[in-house]
Amino acid sequence: IATLFDACEICGPVGFYKGAQGVICKNCAAPINPQSVGMPGGCNPIPLKAQVTDDAVIISEADLVAGRHYFEQK
């Protein structure tokens, strides 16, 4: 399980979609290598810290707030 913000450091908060070729950037149409999902950099979705247990994925409010700037208008 990878937890991510629907934004990248290059294209910003435009986001991603799942297409026939896998995960694709909505802005630049770059296909995202599945092996790189969860890793920072490039046009990868920005990682979001989370704790994964046997029956839950736990994301802290503080970690969500820390990523808020990825979605704010500049």
- How many domains, in total, are found in the chain? 1
Q: How confident is the model at residue 1 (pLDDT cuts 50, 70, 90)?
A: confident
* Residue-number span of the structural domain to which 60 is assigned: 16-71
User: Within 10 A of 44 (CB to CB), how many other CB atoms are there?
Assistant: 22
State yes or no: pLDDT of 74 exceeds 80.
no
For residue 7, tell me if it sits in a domain. no
Q: Kindly tell me if the per-residue pLDDT of 66 is higher than 70.
A: yes
Is 4's pLDDT higher than 90?
yes
Decide if 5 is inside a domain.
no
44's CB contacts (< 8 A; 6+ apart) are: 8, 32, 36, 37, 38
The predicted model gives 4-15 an average pLDDT of 94
**pTM of the shown model:** 0.86
Cα separation, 29 vs 64, whole angstroms = 26
